[in-house]
Every structure is written in structure tokens, then in C-alpha cells.
Amino acid sequence: MNFTEKLQTAYTRIKLAKRVLLVGHVSPDADALASISAMAEIADGFGAEVSAYAGQKPDNYYDFIPRNNLVSTAEPVDLKVFDLILILDCGSIARTGLEKRLRALIKAEQDGHIARRPYLMEFDHHEPSETYADLEIRLSNKASTTEIIYNFLKVNGLEISKTLAHCILIGLMTDTGHFLHANASREAMAIASEMLLRGASLPKIVNNTVHNKSFSSLKIWGRALENLCLNEDTGLAVSALTSAEIKTLLSPGNAELDADLFGDIVSFLSSLSGVRVALFLREENDRVKGSLRTNDEKIDVAKIAQKWGGGGHKKAAGFSLAGRLQKTDTGWKVINNV
């Protein structure tokens, strides 16, 4: 099946479904939630009963995304009641937060324990990993999952309403770092422009994503910049925050902590002049979490992360180690307490 045929099959499946579950990745970002929102709008328009799930969605932070209150952080009680489970922006089955239950469902049908199970469909723009869905629409050259939804609407001749245009633009803007990253392709820009003409609101998105920094999150930014070390020979920039620093600077339950504040910091560090790789370390629950970013075509940070049991993409990856941080003359060391 080529891309167009896949999008047509997706259309038939969604149109026929009576009960649809939409799933975004755990700790969802704006692209995942805007994708859920757009697909909810579409499936609802076909008359389906729509549920949505994204584990650890931060409270209130994404309320500017239409239908955000539809997305539950509580796992669906029974997956078998759905005709269709549409997984959006998840990267891998693990990121759905439903891995065990989805695998059990697939196995139960294979072993003949259940007569039928929900049809599994995936829309994603992350690099290929394990294929598990019945229909996988994965295109890693797309800037956002909402860009794939745009293609879905176009191929199937569906109208792009103002709400859908807004959702598509949210995913495009946020996943391209507001059109600053290399994935802001000509195609992405052209679609963004079309979405504006269709009524998407640029100021609304900017006010809720760029112009929404809280006082305490800027204090975190300040300390992260203060702690920054740069090795001028290797181009490695490292910063770190201890759990004590984070606790003192950030009020508990701050939504920005969930909404990838540390990801924003490490992305910013990777864009500094002379930096080839940025590494940001932070203590969390007796572990040290590392985030890596690069803008250098020749560097694959996923390979670096794998050395410490982590993983990710060429440009963005992470790992987690047991232990705590210790400051050294040249940077930080992860030491084990025991």
C-alpha cells in the first residue's frame, strides 16, 4: 500500500467505526494533543463515540487546544469495547502507556481467545520502530503528526474547518520549535500558511506556547544557564540541576515542569554558537536523567544515549541512570549512593 492508499484505508476504517479510542503519548506534547483533538473532530463528525487517553497529561497547561478536556489521564477500563484504536504521535508502543494491554489484546486474538479485537491504527512522524498496528501511517519526513492529518484530510477530500486548521497549525508550530528547527520544511510552511487562511489563530498559539513562561520556570532557566559548562575542544555543552535546586526554584505541581521545560532548555543549549552536542542532567527520584540534543548533521545522539541504556532519535535522545550528581572541576559526575 502506498501513502495515499493507506490514508484512504484509514478514512474507511474511521468512517465505519462506532466507538473510537484516540491515544497520545505519555506526557503528551502539543502535537500529540492537537492530533487527538483533530481526529476527535473528524470521528465525531462521522457520528462515532469518541474517547481519548494520554497518560500524565499536565493539568490546564494545554487548555488552549480544542477539546482538551476530552483527553483523560485515566486508562480506559476495557479496550475491547472499541472498534478502532488510533494511536497518535507515539513513536513506539511503549509510549502509548498501554503497551502491556495492547500486546495482550493482539495475542488474545492470535491465540483465538477472542473472536475480534479493535483495529489498531497509527499516525506518526517519528523514526520507524517496531510495527504492531494493523495500519501504520508513519512518515518521518513530516514535521508533525498534524501534518499527516492534513494529508489525510486532503487525500480524502474532507473539508478543513477552522478548528481543524487551528489544530494542524498547533502541531506544526510546536514540533518545529516555532519554525526554527530544520524540520520546518517548505511543505510545512506552505501548510501553515494555508491553515492561517482557513482561520487558525497564530497569536492564540504564540500566547499559549512562547509567551507563557512562569516566574519560577525562568528561575530554573537562570540556574541552568549559570551551571552551564562548555568544552570548546569537543563542542559539548553540559548543564545540570540537582533535585534540591529544582525543589527550591520550582513550586510543586508547576505545569511547565510536565510540559517539557527541561527539553526546551537543552534544545536552546544545542543552538548556541560553538555547541555541537548539548547535554542536560537533572536529579529525579534517586536517578539522574540525561537529555541530549544536537543540530550537527554528523552526530547521532541516540547512539550516545544508548551507551547509558537510553535511546531516542538522531537529534534528540535521553537516558536515565541510578545515582546522583556530583560537581567536578570540569563538569558533573554521576555517582552511586550505595
Min dist. Cβ of residue 146 to Mn ion (A): 8
- Choice between 83 and 175, CB closer to Mn ion: 175
Q: Is residue 95 within 8 Å of residue 27, measured between CB atoms?
A: no
Find the shortest distance in angstroms from Cβ 115 to Mn ion.
35
245 near Mn ion, rule: CB under 5 A? no
Nearer to Mn ion, 191 or 240 (CB): 191
Q: Which stretch binds Mn ion (CB under 5 A): 29-37, 243-251, 274-282, 329-337?
A: 29-37
Q: Does 175 bind Mn ion (CB under 5 A)?
A: yes
Q: How far is the CB of 167 from Mn ion (least distance, A)?
A: 13
Q: Note whether 31 binds Mn ion by CB under 5 A.
A: yes
Q: Which is nearer to Mn ion, 209 or 231 (CB)?
A: 209
> What cell was used for 236?
559539548
Per CB under 5 A, 147 contacts Mn ion: no
Q: Decide: 14 and 48 in contact? Cβ < 8 Å.
A: yes
Minimum Å gap between C-beta 240 and Mn ion is 27
Q: Shortest Cβ distance from residue 88 to Mn ion (Å)?
A: 9
| Choices 86-94, 190-198, 216-224, 273-281 (CB under 5 A): range interacting with Mn ion | 86-94
The site for Mn ion, by CB under 5 A, has a size of 5
Residues 254-293 that bind Mn ion (CB under 5 A): none
Q: How far is the CB of 145 from Mn ion (least distance, A)?
A: 5
Residue 83 makes contact with Mn ion by CB under 5 A: no
Alpha-carbon gap, residue 132 to 86, rounded angstroms: 12
Residue 12 or residue 140: which is nearer to Mn ion going by CB? 140
CB closer to Mn ion out of 38 and 224: 38
Least separation in angstroms between residue 130's CB and Mn ion is 18
Q: Which amino acid is at 162?
A: K
User: Shortest approach of Mn ion to residue 123 CB, angstroms?
Assistant: 10
Q: CB nearest Mn ion: which residue?
A: 31
Residue 65 is placed in which grid cell? 487546544
Which one-letter amino acid corresponds to residue 252?
P
Of the CA atoms within 13 Å of residue 284, those in its CB half-sphere come to 13
Q: Which stretch binds Mn ion (CB under 5 A): 28-36, 55-63, 133-141, 324-332?
A: 28-36
Binds Mn ion by CB under 5 A, chosen from 57, 66, 89, 310: 89
Of 138 and 223, which has the nearer Cβ to Mn ion? 138
Residues 6+ apart with CB under 8 A from 100: none
Sign of CA dihedral 261, 27, 282, 284: positive
Closer Cβ to Mn ion, 53 or 332, answer by number: 53
Q: Segment contacting Mn ion (CB under 5 A): 11-19, 113-121, 143-151, 184-192?
A: 143-151
Chain residues that interact with Mn ion, rule: CB under 5 A: 31, 89, 144-145, 175
